[in-house]
Structure 1
Amino acid sequence: MHKKSQQFLFWTLQIVGWGIPSLLNGYGKYLSNSDRLTKKYIIIETLLFFILGVFWSTIFRNYIKSFLQSLNTLKKESRKVIIAYFTTSTSYAVSLIGLSYVAYNLVHQKGLDAKNHIMTVSTFLNIFLFILFWALFYISIKTIVNSEKRRVEYLKLQSSLKDSQLNTLKGQINPHFMFNSLNNIRGLMLEDVEKARDMITRLSELLRYSLSKSSDSTIKVKDELEMVHNYIELSYIQFEDRLTYIENLDQDLLNQEIPPMIIQMLIENAIKHGISQQKKGGVVQLDISEEDKNLCIKVANTGQIEKGKSSTKIGLKNISDRLQILYGNNASFNLNETEDQVIAHIKLPL
């Protein structure tokens, strides 16, 4: 809540909070006017009740505002609050009674009788109750506002940290991908210029895509598949008939949003750590389907999980971390080995 909004809320509550009891007090005296008080005096006393209530409660508020930030602060500074409460209540009561005496003498041209002195004691006690209720109400509102402010600041901090983490994780993707692609180009330059030229074209498309989507937290499945197809074409040039790529896609899911480069990283991992390790090559299969209101992405490749390979763990941890940041516990990522196949399985909420 902005400072101007807080000020507006405070003064609105002050005017309404003191205006209502002041009017009720004046109207009650007017109806039960056994002391034959004039309307002029009743109006003056009502205004004094209101003005002094606003004045002394504002001073009380300005004092405790300097150290009251939360319930924990209230516990630590309870002595200060109690002293401020009694000081404010006494000051309010004394000033109201004193000025009422003066107003009564001026309006009625006589002093207060014994009955009015008894009423003075009652007024004194009532004012202590009024200030007590005001203090409890203000401290409650203040605590709620501060708690909400801290909650908003915490959420902003968490959002900022998540954005920072995602940018860091995205930054891990592009250098790794570029390194592999440039190595492939270097190897082909002396063997087949046309293939190298084709690879450069594919690489430029991939880099253009990567740069244009680097600021996006999610992209459509069909856009991600464009990148995957370019990567596969680059891989075909390197592996030739050692690589077989199969797709099984639910066409209704192509417009669904997913984190960028998630599928590409799975395909890259399957080729680099699976197919490239097989003398006869193997198969990489991509399945995208819907299962229990989840978008399921499954990449299976020929091979086994390489034990102790840090590069594999870094890439897969990257995927796991990004899913955790974006979806929390609503998404899952599993890597399993069955016979001669490694299966990476991602589930995202639809």
Structure 2
Amino acid sequence: MTSFVKKYRWSISFWVVQLMSWGGLVFIAYAFTPDMDGYKSSKVFSYGLVSTFLIGIVSTSLLRSYLKGIVNFEAFEKKQIVKILLGVACASLLYFALSYGFGYCVGKYSEEDVKVPEMYKNFGIGLMIVNSFITIFGWTIFYLSVKVAAKLNANRVERAELNATLRQAQLNTLKGQINPHFMFNSLNNIRGLMLEDVEKSRDMLTKLSEMLRYSLTKNNVNAINLEEELDMVDNYIALSKIQFEERLEFVKHIDKTTLDIKIPPMIIQLLVENAAKHGIANLKSGGIIKLTTEKSSDNLIIKVINTGKLMIVKGSTQLGLKNIRQRLRLLYGSNASFTINEIDGEVVATIKIPLS
């Protein structure tokens, strides 16, 4: 249906341009023809203009049908040039033959006594053929130029749509790469907690269900308020403390002016999860995870800092870190950045997101 609509629109556009171009040519011929001995005001001259318009429409429309069948813009070859020139030659001869034939008939059978200026009497058959070829060749160049421009524009739109679809598919795939082991570990930890504190275990189940709902409902969006993400981080920390107990301390320093800023969902949670899994979990005495947000110039700065050393475990896929980098690149291009460094016995992960 879409292809039919596009084809229909292109057909209408062609006929509009066709009528306007030949109409314009006839107008120019009328405007610049010298009125010698009343020739310009004669019926013969008027017939000539009308015939030029109609013959031009017929010959170039037939040429267009021919070109549509032999020109392939997807795989253009040199032999197509020969075919195009052959079509132009045939259309030029048709244009000349019809024009000459019409002119001959008008001159022979017209009852109007018209004095044809000498400049037109000397316009021989050879010059008429050359003029016909130049006219048709010029029309062909214009037609092919419009077709090429339309094709390039269609390709540009198609590439843009394809890139947008690909970007969305990549984002959805990345969102689906959230580590599921945390969910299973949380369920096991809550099951153990039930033997000690039933009320707390119920509260933890509620937080876990909220996290699951959050990950499912936000899978189709690319941005949420920072405040909403922080609520899920709090739930994550609460569930993690069942496992780490007193070994995990969590500190937040949140600039209130950043709470309404849009960020990719689950991106802070990934940082906090990475800090807990690869930082605090490896320390016998535990450590601190600090989360800070602030505005700096035209950017939102998010930092997750944890006690420990930056170690790349052998065989690790670093899926979480790759996930963050790819999502930022897909959403913001080079305007966003993600770095992770070890500074004075702490691992500092920093995300910079443009505010506009």
Fold conserved between structures, TM > 0.5: yes
Which residue is 2:188 aligned to? 183
Which residue is 1:146 aligned to? 151
Counterpart AA for 2:297 = D
Which residue is 2:17 aligned to? 13
CA contact (8 A) 1:195 1:237 kept: no
Local SS of the residue matching 2:348: strand
The whole-number CA distance in structure 2 between the counterparts of 1:337 and 1:65 is 64
Counterpart AA for 2:233 = V
Unaligned runs of 5+ in 1: none
Please identify, of 121-130 and 12-21, the stretch whose mean Cα deviation from structure 2 is larger.
121-130
The whole-number CA distance in structure 2 between the counterparts of 1:148 and 1:101 is 45
Q: From 249, 271, 276, give the equivalent of 1:271.
A: 276
RMSD: 2.6
Local SS of the residue matching 2:20: helix
Structure 1 residue 72 displacement after superposition: 6.7
Local SS of the residue matching 1:203: helix
Local SS of the residue matching 1:227: helix
1:23 aligns with 2:23: no
The whole-number CA distance in structure 2 between the counterparts of 1:112 and 1:34 is 7
CA spacing shift, 1:173–1:346, aligned 2, 3 Å: same
- Offset from partner CA, 1:284-343 (integer Å, 9 cap, x none): 001111223111111000112232255560111111111111112111111111232111
Structure 1 residue 148 displacement after superposition: 0.6
Q: TM-score, normalised to structure 2's length?
A: 0.89
Matches within 5 A, 1:314-325: 314-325=319-330
CA spacing shift, 1:318–1:13, aligned 2, 3 Å: same
Q: From 80, 86, 91, give the equivalent of 1:88.
A: 91
Please identify, of 268-277 and 70-79, the stretch whose mean Cα deviation from structure 2 is larger.
70-79
1:257 aligns with 2:262: yes
Please identify, of 171-180 and 321-330, the stretch whose mean Cα deviation from structure 2 is larger.
171-180
1:240 aligns with 2:253: no
CA contact (8 A) 1:248 1:288 kept: yes
Which residue is 1:52 aligned to? 55
Which residue is 1:212 aligned to? 217
1:196 aligns with 2:197: no
CA spacing shift, 1:302–1:38, aligned 2, 3 Å: closer
The whole-number CA distance in structure 2 between the counterparts of 1:37 and 1:165 is 69
Identity %: 42
The whole-number CA distance in structure 2 between the counterparts of 1:150 and 1:19 is 32
- Offset from partner CA, 1:173-206 (integer Å, 9 cap, x none): 1634423422332443444333322210110111
- Offset from partner CA, 1:88-121 (integer Å, 9 cap, x none): 1111111111122112222138999996663243
Counterpart AA for 2:291 = L
The whole-number CA distance in structure 2 between the counterparts of 1:340 and 1:38 is 98
Counterpart AA for 2:13 = L
CA spacing shift, 1:285–1:69, aligned 2, 3 Å: farther
Instruction: Give the count of matched residue pairs.
Output: 349
Please identify, of 113-122 and 53-62, the stretch whose mean Cα deviation from structure 2 is larger.
113-122
CA spacing shift, 1:321–1:334, aligned 2, 3 Å: same
Please identify, of 143-152 and 83-92, the stretch whose mean Cα deviation from structure 2 is larger.
83-92
CA spacing shift, 1:76–1:235, aligned 2, 3 Å: farther
Q: From 297, 300, 310, give the equivalent of 1:292.
A: 297
Give the structure with the higher percent helix: 1
CA spacing shift, 1:258–1:36, aligned 2, 3 Å: closer
Which residue is 1:226 aligned to? 231
CA spacing shift, 1:113–1:21, aligned 2, 3 Å: closer
- Offset from partner CA, 1:236-258 (integer Å, 9 cap, x none): 23322211111111211111111
CA contact (8 A) 1:242 1:282 kept: yes
Structure 1 residue 16 displacement after superposition: 0.9
Matches within 5 A, 1:12-161: 12-26=16-30, 28-29=32-33, 31-34=34-37, 36=39, 39-70=42-73, 73=76, 75=78, 77-108=80-111, 118-121=122-125, 122-161=127-166
The whole-number CA distance in structure 1 between the counterparts of 2:262 and 2:247 is 32
Which residue is 2:310 aligned to? 305
- Offset from partner CA, 1:144-175 (integer Å, 9 cap, x none): 11001011111111111111111111111163
CA spacing shift, 1:206–1:34, aligned 2, 3 Å: same
Unaligned runs of 5+ in 2: none
The whole-number CA distance in structure 2 between the counterparts of 1:348 and 1:76 is 53
CA contact (8 A) 1:104 1:112 kept: no
